[in-house]
């Protein structure tokens, strides 16, 4: 009986002291002494520590030793110069991946002309088709149409180069008659683990003869953009590409989408892991966007191009849309999520976030709140019943009661997949 | 038997009426809807809660449909119109590179007339307090002794009662 009373007394004391220990608020979370320690132990947890953390692997620049592992790839001397301003993008004949670039005739290039001694015929490009959207660990074939401006037949090599990374791929040509053109295809290898994603200045140079005399070199007016590889051994989408595809919300793969891809690549330039890239994009979108609540913003989900054409204004779903489009354009599978919860006063709240697929796990990202990999942030704000819905396959034709093709979609234009109250958020 | 039937009816009614109410159509909450303006504001910029000037403005004027503006590459402005007729509006600037919970995120505050057009060259009212503990103290955020003291007294009282009970046994 005595033992029971003691136990009962202990239970009663614990019942009184637990609320006492919790008598704090969020800006002063830890009372002093053991009460604070207990509260820390028993209180809400920052679950971000349990989410996937992918350490950033420093990228080592390609050197004579590492290049041996990549057949067909050569290290380019840092002394090699790539002058700009000798070419221009042919807008009329440019498509999504291969952009036509026209070159200035070498007669207008005094430096090249100086090198063009009588012994070595000047071989220079006329135009080319360049694949600028590089997927890591794949081959991006570059096509250059070269012309022999000299008086003798020429043979040599065309090197296509990632100027920033200092490596390239050579392709030989031979017996190019004076005044003739020849098409040279260069199977440029995008070496993923010797490079970062983002903006990649492209260049190439042409050599002639056994001494490899350089008769032309230059940097292209269009930058390459390196993205992650989504095959099974790299960064696959578990939903078979649903979280990488374009739609009426996300426009990056089309020719008008170069702007989207280029902006994403600039924002996440020189990041070397999907975790680092996604985190950089989260911050970028938060800084880029201007929170503006209008009837249009509240009623519709705006497409990436609509948002860009309207000075990057919007509310949380526009923030999430921009982050999804940027992430997908760099090859990070991403899904747009609607999230609702009940706040501490009992009212419902609607919000939009996204998740990035990284290292086999879905990682939370909220560019509106500028928080990443922290799915517990809503619970820590004393909200309950965090309920998630994936919105996918946006098609402006699906819901017929609103205008089509204006870049403004209703949520009825999308397919909703309820996820319910996911444990990571609750 | 009649009583049982009556109880049964009451139980049925009690079970059916709330069920029917719950099953009634509730408005769909779309992702972009957010919540009350002040809640959206403090969710996006939680350090607002620790800023005395802004919180005083909110207490006095409420917050209407607030919005942001871009100042330059490093700063944004946040514009709080009043929700009532207090005749004032508040604008504060935030440093973009600051983290969500960084107490130095809010850099400058302006309180101007409701019909005035804001410019960042206007006189500011913000005393820059950077220590979040000072900000929290100024904002009155600390353990409330009104709650703590009775709890301690009750706990000690219960302890004494149980001690006496045990002694009697």
In a domain, B151, yes or no: no
Confidence class of residue B112 from pLDDT cuts 50, 70 and 90?
Answer: very high
> What's the whole-number mean pLDDT along residues A125-137?
94
Specify the pLDDT at position A26. Answer: 41
Which residues is A99 bridged to in the sheet?
A: A130
Q: Is residue B118 part of a domain?
A: yes
- Is residue B169 a part of any domain in this protein? no
Q: What is the pLDDT of residue A210?
A: 92
- Asked whether residue B2 carries a pLDDT value surpassing 70, the answer given is no
Tens of pLDDT, residue by residue over B155-166, are 888 888 888 888
Total number of domains constituting chain B: 1
* Yes or no, beta carbons of B34 and A293 under 8 Å apart: yes
- Closest residue, chain B, to A10 (C-alpha): B159
Q: Phi/psi class of residue A381: alpha, beta or left (left: φ > 0; alpha: ψ in -120 to 50)?
A: alpha
B81 touches chain A (CB under 8 A): no
Q: Are the beta carbons of B132 and A2 separated by less than 8 Å? A: no
pLDDT at A267 exceeding the cut of 80: yes
Residue A141 banded pLDDT, cuts 50, 70, 90: very high
pLDDT for the residue numbered A22: 46
A266 touches chain B (CB under 8 A): no
Distance from CA of A369 to the nearest CA of B (A): 5
In eight-state DSSP terms, residue A25 is B
Residue A275 has pLDDT above 70, yes or no: yes
Q: What is the pLDDT of residues A92-104, one digit of tens each?
A: 666 667 889 999 9
Q: Do A391 and B99 touch (CB under 8 A)?
A: no
Q: Is the pLDDT of residue A35 over 90?
A: no
> Which residue from B70, B136, B159 is facing A290, i.e. has the nearest CB?
B70
pLDDT tens digits, A370-389: 999 999 999 999 999 999 99
Q: Give the nearest chain A residue to B70 (CA atoms).
A: A290
pLDDT at A314 over 80: yes
A338 with B30: Cβ contact below 8 A: yes
Q: Are A164 and A81 in contact (CB under 8 A)?
A: no
Summarised one tens digit per residue, pLDDT across range A47-88 is: 444 454 554 555 567 788 888 888 889 999 999 999 999 999
Asked which of A87-101, A178-192, B45-59 is least confident by mean pLDDT, the reply is A87-101
Q: Confidence class of residue B51 from pLDDT cuts 50, 70 and 90? A: very high
Residues 1-60 of A with CB under 8 A from B: 1-2, 5-6, 8-9, 12-13, 16-17, 19-20, 23-25, 27-28, 31
- What residues of A are in contact with residue B63 (Cβ under 8 Å)? none
Query: ipTM of this predicted complex?
Result: 0.77
Q: Is residue B113 part of a domain?
A: yes
Query: pLDDT tens digit string along A187-209?
Result: 999 998 777 999 999 999 999 99
SS3 of chain B: the string is CHHHHHHHHHHHHHHHHHHHHHHCCCCCCCHHHECCHHHHHHHHCHHHHHCHHHHHHHHHHCCCCCEEEECCCCEEEEEECCCCCCCEEEEEEEECCCCCCCCCCEEEEEEEECCCCCCCCCCCCCCCCCCHHHHHHHCCCCCCHHHHHHHHHHHHHHHHHHHHHHHHC
At residue A163 the predicted structure's pLDDT band, cuts being 50, 70 and 90, is: very high
Residue A29: predicted pLDDT: 43
Residue B6 falls inside a structural domain: no
CB contact B84 to A (< 8 Å): no
Name the average pLDDT for chain A. 86
Whether A130 has a pLDDT exceeding 80, the answer reads: yes
B100 — contact with chain A (CB < 8 Å)?
yes
Please indicate, yes or no, if residue B137 is contained in any of the structural domains.
yes
Instruction: Give the model's confidence band at A362: pLDDT under 50 very low, under 70 low, under 90 confident, else very high.
Output: very high
Q: Are strands A384-392 and A334-342 parallel, antiparallel or unpaired?
A: antiparallel
Contact check, Cβ <8 Å, B76/A343:
no
Domain containing residue B72:
37-144
- The verdict on residue B153 lying in a domain is no
Please tell me if residue B92 touches chain A, with a CB cutoff of 8 Å. no
What residues of chain B lie within 8 A of the CB of A286, using their CB? 96
Q: Count CB pairs under 8 A between chains A and B.
A: 123
pLDDT reported for residue A274: 96
- Among A143, A145, A171, smallest CA distance to A73 is for A171
Q: How far is B8 from chain A (nearest CA, A)?
A: 32
Half-sphere CA count of A319, side-chain side, radius 13 A: 32
Mean per-residue pLDDT, A305-318: 95
- Phi and psi at A25, nearest 5°, equal -130, 175
Proportion of chain A above pLDDT 90, given as a percent: 71
Looking at beta carbons, which residues of chain A come within 8 Å of B142? Answer: 28
Most B CBs within 10 A among A5, A293, A296, hence the mutation to make, goes to A293
Nearest chain B residue to A381 by CA distance is: B43
Smallest CA–CA distance, residue B136 to chain A, in Å, is 7
pLDDT of residue B31: 87
Question: Do the chains contact at A339 and B31, CB–CB below 8 Å?
Answer: yes
- Which of residues B127 and B156 earns the better pLDDT score? B156
Q: What is the DSSP letter of A91?
A: G
């Amino acid at each position: 009986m005595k033992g029971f009373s003691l136990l009962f007394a202990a239970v009663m004391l614990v019942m009184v002291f637990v609320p006492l220990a919790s008598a704090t608020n969020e800006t002063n979370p830890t009372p002093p002494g053991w009460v604070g320690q207990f509260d820390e132990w028993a209180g809400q947890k920052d679950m971000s520590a349990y989410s996937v953390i992918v350490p950033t692997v420093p990228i080592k620049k390609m050197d004579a030793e590492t290049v041996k592992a990549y057949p067909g790839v050569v290290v380019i001397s840092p002394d090699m110069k790539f002058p700009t301003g000798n070419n221009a993008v042919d807008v009329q004949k440019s498509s999504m991946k291969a952009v036509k670039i026209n070159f200035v005739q070498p007669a207008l290039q005094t430096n090249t002309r100086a090198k063009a001694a009588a012994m070595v015929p000047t071989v220079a490009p006329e135009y080319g088709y360049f694949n600028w959207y590089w997927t890591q660990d794949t081959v991006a074939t570059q096509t250059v149409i070269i012309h022999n401006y000299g008086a003798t037949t020429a043979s040599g090599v065309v090197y296509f180069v990632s100027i920033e990374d200092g490596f390239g791929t050579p392709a030989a040509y031979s017996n190019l008659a004076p005044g003739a053109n020849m098409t040279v295809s260069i199977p440029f290898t995008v070496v993923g683990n010797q490079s970062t994603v983002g903006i990649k200045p492209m260049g190439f140079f042409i050599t002639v003869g056994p001494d490899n005399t350089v008769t032309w070199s230059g940097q292209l007016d269009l930058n390459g953009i390196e993205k992650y590889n989504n095959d099974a051994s790299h960064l696959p989408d578990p939903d078979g590409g649903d979280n990488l595809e374009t739609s009426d919300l996300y426009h990056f793969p089309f020719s008008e989408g170069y702007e989207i891809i280029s902006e994403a690549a600039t924002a996440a330039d020189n990041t070397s892991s999907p975790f680092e890239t996604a985190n950089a994009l989260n911050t970028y979108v938060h800084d880029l966007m201007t929170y503006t609540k209008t009837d249009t913003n509240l009623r519709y989900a705006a497409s990436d191009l609509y948002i860009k054409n309207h000075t990057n204004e919007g509310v949380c779903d526009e923030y999430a849309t921009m982050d999804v489009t940027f992430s997908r354009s760099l090859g990070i599978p991403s899904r747009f999520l609607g999230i609702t919860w009940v706040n501490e006063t009992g009212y419902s709240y609607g919000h939009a976030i996204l998740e990035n697929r990284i290292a086999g796990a879905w990682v939370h990202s909220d560019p509106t709140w500028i928080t990443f990999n922290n799915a517990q942030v809503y619970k820590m704000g004393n909200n309950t019943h965090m309920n998630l819905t994936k919105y996918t396959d946006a098609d402006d034709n699906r819901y017929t009661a609103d205008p089509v093709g204006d870049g403004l979609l209703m949520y009825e234009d999308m397919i909703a997949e309820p996820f319910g109250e996911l444990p990571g958020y609750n | 038997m009649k009583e049982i039937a009556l109880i049964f009816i009451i139980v049925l009614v009690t079970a059916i009426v709330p069920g029917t109410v719950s099953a009634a159509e509730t408005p769909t909450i779309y992702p972009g809807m957010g919540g009350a303006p002040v809640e959206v504001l403090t969710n996006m910029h939680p350090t607002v809660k620790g800023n005395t000037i802004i919180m005083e403005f909110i207490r006095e004027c409420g917050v209407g449909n607030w919005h942001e503006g871009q100042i330059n590459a490093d700063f944004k402005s946040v514009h709080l119109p009043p929700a009532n007729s207090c005749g004032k509006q508040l604008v504060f600037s935030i440093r973009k590179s600051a983290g969500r919970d960084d107490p130095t995120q809010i850099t400058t505050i302006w309180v101007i007339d409701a019909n005035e057009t804001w410019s960042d060259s206007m006189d500011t009212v913000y005393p820059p307090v950077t220590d979040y503990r000072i900000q929290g103290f100024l904002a009155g955020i600390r353990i409330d002794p009104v709650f703590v003291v009775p709890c301690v007294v009750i706990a000690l009282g219960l302890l004494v009662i149980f001690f006496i009970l045990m002694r009697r046994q």
